[in-house]
Amino acid sequence: MDQYQRDSAASISFGWDRSTDERSCQAFIQRFSRPNLLSVLTPRLTDQELTALIDHLSVLMKQHLSEREYHRLFLADSATKRV
């Protein structure tokens, strides 16, 4: 069973408690980021929607990740010397 099967849409539910919300958020984002979905959805976004999505995700990372975490986790830059 792969990660997407474990994180099925049926396992996504919000509003019960923080732990469930966090697991559901992770499952939702994992499903959202599947290449087959993104290849269909992305070309259909307006310029404004595309910009808003990137801006929102960038703001969240800037608020909640250190520069080192950003480079290591998002950019997958393990060789960075940044603090």
pLDDT per residue as tens digits for the range 25-38 = 999 999 999 999 99
Encode pLDDT of 7-56 as tens digits: 577 889 999 999 999 999 999 999 999 999 999 999 999 999 999 999 99
Distances in Å between the alpha carbon of 65 and those of 3, 23, 42, 56?
24, 19, 25, 14
pTM above 0.85, yes or no: no
Q: Where are the domains of the chain?
A: 1-44, 46-83
- Which residue type does 20 have? T
Confidence at residue 78, expressed as pLDDT on a 0 to 100 scale = 75
The token pair at 36 is 């087959």
Instruction: Mention every residue, 6+ apart, whose C-beta is less than 8 A from residue 45.
Output: 53
